[in-house]
A and B are shown apart, each in its own frame.
Chain A
């Protein structure tokens, strides 16, 4: 009884100091309990150990940030440059909401079109409830990311097996770029969470026999996709394309004759469409737009890489003047660079060496994914297809627009939460076949 009393007092003190820490702590504990529900005791224990360490390291990082920040000089610390601006904007929105006067310049920045996202309002609302929480916002990010990981873990575990699911979970929690996203107060943790909710809802909706629940789950998936649109421009279209593409792929790939017919029909349809000048102009225009984004990245600080021919990087050169051969080289280089950058000859500074460990893991993940896709499709074609289309859509978006090595490495994190599970299947299959000449069994 006494221990409950002491615990209550401690929680009360903690809530007074940081309400969001207590709220996130409760949410994380709930998620860990739900994540391990129904698992064998040994597996549940392994899962809880992994999650405990992962959460502990992340909380330590946030605590370290708090301790290392000179609060006499700055109001709060942040991990990334964008983060400080992001948190300040959410605070200005909170103040506006509460009718607290703010500087007119801050008022303009609070509603600036640049980086406009619903995440700002969510953080603003949370801080309206609990007060300023520049460090608590990181804990919200951690909780959201942990929710994403556990949701995907619970989705793939019955489909792909216990070992690939645990391996995927480990990678999701330890890869440096994903670790960085997971502790950030930026919109990425929420983006991952909403995407995985939409993905899991679609899988459940497809398999749900009862129409009422099927409609409910579909509504959740659509709501998640619409919420993504408020979070990131084009979020709904990207998620809709990923889901529609995944379902279509899963449906057709198990019907080989129809699949071949569809490939032929799609090829003919593309040829017929591309014969139209208007379609050609639209395609070329889209290519010019993404190439323009890429060129913008080249002019950012840090290490960069080129996808276009050198003449197109001139200050006054119009990218619309890109020739056919230049466009073809751009497309090939973009796809190749997405997988390979940074190559060893592009690591020409000590700072760039920091990318090396993750780069090696990335190469392995890509290699294992090629193998794992076949086995994942055999095990659960719907989940494998949805994971694949989510990874491909995220990859294509980044491949053609990126030009900064650091940004590319970080933004590959958008494809990783889906690719990792397929790679884990490939790695486990190869290891199992190498070790015993057999294949691993589903749990």
Chain B
């Protein structure tokens, strides 16, 4: 018997075409379906993202939830690939979000070759509250200078690198360097041999930061860490030969402050009272930084014996909830007032306060 006879039948029983059709129908199709079921990798799907809203900023992560998630997948946010993909299980994975500007982003899931699912507008990057920057005037001195470096700092010179901005307003004469160090609660002045310091006033830009104690501080960025704008704080500023330290002595805002006119009775020994002259300038807080300083406008005797004088002063004041204030002293009739120059310190009693006409305490 031939395998296929003259009528096209296999072993004389089944037609060859019928046999081929039967093989296809009953063998190949079930085998193909079985192989498809057995070897098919289930399609991954995204279901949600936690959190789905983030504030703009670096080093953030989201957890993606889905089904049939697999290792070594990738996730993109608006076309920008996530930094990492760490799978936890087939239903969740952690993805490090790239640095994205504020906006809404589609989240797409990729296997090693193609996109497998997409969640439209699934992630929103919110813009954070803008951090206000302010310019302040600080007086103090550049530390650890040599003579050639000291000559670099002239009024008008700008010290800028990255987001650090400072401008030299005034400079004094180089003097032997002295550091003010915090030891416990005391501040010690420690001379540094063979080094010079240059007294100067600067305008620096700082950004506000709310500390753990909920107080607002203004911080000047630095090469390693930011420094607060405060007396004795050491700023690191860019110079031609590298970073140079500037230790703050006093601080003042650059804006022209309101000026309050005070009348004060100063009482002291005749010798001290005799030193009080019209034109004397208060040297306590804003000696270098502000062009507007507390100043004696007039002085006249106010009693016999020359032990009391009535002085009229113009004082840069700040409005506070309880009235005007200067250097943490409330400016009110009846309260004491302290006036300090390079040569003397005298305390008197306020007998009259005339606020500036255009500005009123808020």
**CB-nearest residue of chain B to A287:** B71
Known pairs A272-B38, A272-B39, A277-B41; A327 contacts B72 (CB<8 A): yes
B87 touches A284 (CB 8 A): yes
Query: Across the interface, do B71 and A280 meet the contact criterion of CB distance under 8 Å?
Result: yes
Cβ of B112: which chain A residues have Cβ within 8 Å of it? 324
Task: Specify the main secondary structure of chain B where it touches its partner.
Answer: loop
In B20-50, the 8 Å CB interface with A consists of 38-42, 44
Q: Which residues of chain A from 256 to 271 have any CB-CB distance to chain B below 8 Å in the complex?
A: 271
> What is the bound-complex CA distance between A318 and B61, given in angstroms?
13
Q: Which of A275, A320, A321, A327 contacts B40 (CB 8 A)?
A: A275
Knowing A277-B68, A277-B69 are in contact, say whether A321-B85 is a contact too (CB < 8 A): yes
Q: Mark A347-360, 1 if CB is under 8 A from B, else 0.
A: 00000000000000
Residues of A within 8 A of B71 (CB): 280-281, 283-284, 324
User: What is the interface residue range for chain A against chain B?
Assistant: 10 to 19
B90 at interface by CB-CB < 8 Å: yes
Contact, CB under 8 Å: A281 / B90: yes
Q: Write out the residue numbers on chain A whose beta carbons fall within 8 Å of the beta carbon of B69.
A: 277, 281
- Does chain A have a CB within 8 A of B86? yes
Asked whether any CB of chain A lies closer than 8 Å to the CB of B96, the reply is yes
A284 and B84: CB pair below 8 A? no
Residues 64-93 of B at the A interface (beta carbon under 8 Å): 68-72, 84-90
Check A318/B89 contact, CB under 8 A, given A275-B40, A275-B41: no
When distances are taken between beta carbons in the complex, the residues of chain B under 8 Å from A284 are 71-72, 87
User: How distant is the Cα of A320 from the Cα of B38 in the complex, in angstroms?
Assistant: 28
Query: Does A323 lie at the interface of the complex (its beta carbon under 8 Å from any beta carbon of B)?
Result: yes
Using known A-B contacts A275-B41, A277-B41, A324-B112, determine if residue A318 contacts B86 with beta carbons closer than 8 Å.
yes
Sorting the interface of chain B by its residue count into under 10, 10 to 19, 20 to 34 or 35 or more gives 20 to 34
Which A residue sits closest to B90, measured CB to CB? Answer: A277
A269's nearest neighbour on chain B, judged by CB, is B38
For A324, the chain B residues whose CB sits under 8 A away are 71-72, 112
Q: B96 is contacted by which of A272, A281, A321 (Cβ under 8 Å)?
A: A321
A278: Cβ under 8 A from any B Cβ? yes
Question: How far apart sit A259 and B112, CA to CA, in the bound complex (Å)?
Answer: 33
Residues 317-344 of chain A: 1 if any B CB is under 8 Å from the residue's CB, otherwise 0? 0101101100100000000000000000
Which chain A residues border B72 with CB–CB below 8 Å?
284, 323-324, 327
Contact B86 A320 (CB under 8 A): yes
In the assembled complex, the Cα of A321 lies from the Cα of B69 at a distance in Å of 14
Q: Is the CB of A275 within 8 A of B86?
A: no
A272 to B87, CA, bound (A): 21
CA distance A343 to B221 in the complex (A): 48
In the assembly, what is the distance between CA of A271 and CA of B38, in Å? 9
- Alpha-carbon gap, A344 to B70, bound state (A): 40
**Complex Cα spacing A276 to B87, Å:** 15
- Is A281's CB under 8 angstroms from B41's CB? no
Q: How far is the CA of A277 from the CA of B41 in the complex (A)?
A: 7
> What is the chain B residue whose CB lies nearest that of A272?
B38
Most buried by B among A276, A281, A283: A281
Assembled-state Cα–Cα distance A276/B69 (Å)? 10
With a CB–CB cut-off of 8 A, which chain B residues contact A272? Answer: 38-39
Measured in the bound complex, the distance between the Cα atoms of B199 and A264 in whole Å is 85
Bound: A272/B86 CA distance, A:
24
CA distance A321 to B44 in the complex (A): 19
Most buried by B among A271, A277, A324: A277
Distance, CA A171 to CA B68, complexed state (A)? 52
**Min CB gap A137→B, angstroms:** 45
A321 engages B84 (CB within 8 Å)? yes
Select one of A275, A318, A320, A321 contacting B39, CB under 8 A: A275
Shortest distance from the beta carbon of B116 to any chain A beta carbon, whole Å: 12
Give every chain A residue within 8 A of B39 (Cβ-Cβ).
271-272, 275
CB distance from B259 to the nearest CB of A (A): 54
**Alpha-carbon separation in the docked complex, A327 to B90 (Å):** 19
Contact A281:B38 (CB < 8 A) given known A323-B72, A324-B72, A327-B72: no
Q: How far is the CB of A133 from chain B (nearest CB, A)?
A: 50
In the complex, which of the residues A277, A283, A327 contacts B44, with contact meaning CB atoms closer than 8 Å?
A277
Residues in chain A near residue B70, CB distance under 8 A: 277, 280-281
With A272-B39, A324-B72 in contact, is A281–B86 under 8 Å at CB? no
Residues of A with C-beta under 8 A to B84: 318, 321
A281–B40 CB distance below 8 A: no
Are A278 and B85 closer than 8 Å at their CB atoms? no
Chain A residues with CB under 8 Å of B41's CB are 275-277
CB of B145 to closest CB in A, whole Å: 39
| Shortest beta-carbon distance from A138 to chain B in Å | 46
Return A423 CB to nearest CB of chain B, in Å: 37
CA distance A327 to B70 in the complex (A): 14
CB distance from A392 to the nearest CB of B (A): 25
Q: Once the chains are docked, how many angstroms separate the CA of A272 from the CA of B72? A: 19
Give complex CA distance A272, B42 in Å. Answer: 12
A16 vs B134: C-alpha distance when bound (angstroms):
88
Identify the closest chain B residue to A275 (Cβ): B41
| Chain A min CB distance to B71 (Å) | 4
Docked pose: A324 CA to B68 CA in angstroms: 17
Q: Which residues of B contact A327 (CB under 8 A)?
A: 72
Which residue of B has the minimal Cβ distance to A325?
B72
Contact surface of A with B, Cβ cutoff 8 Å: 271-272, 275-278, 280-281, 283-284, 318, 320-321, 323-324, 327
Can you list 20 A-B pairs, Cβ within 8 angstroms, ordered by A? A272-B39, A275-B38, A275-B40, A275-B41, A276-B41, A277-B41, A277-B44, A280-B70, A280-B71, A281-B71, A281-B90, A283-B71, A284-B71, A318-B86, A318-B94, A321-B84, A321-B96, A323-B72, A323-B85, A324-B72
Beyond A281-B69, A318-B94, 17 extra complex contacts between A and B, CB < 8 Å: A271-B39, A275-B40, A275-B41, A277-B41, A277-B42, A277-B68, A277-B90, A278-B90, A281-B70, A281-B87, A281-B89, A318-B86, A321-B84, A321-B85, A323-B72, A323-B85, A327-B72
Q: Which 5 A-B pairs have the closest CB atoms?
A: A284-B71, A321-B84, A320-B86, A324-B72, A277-B90
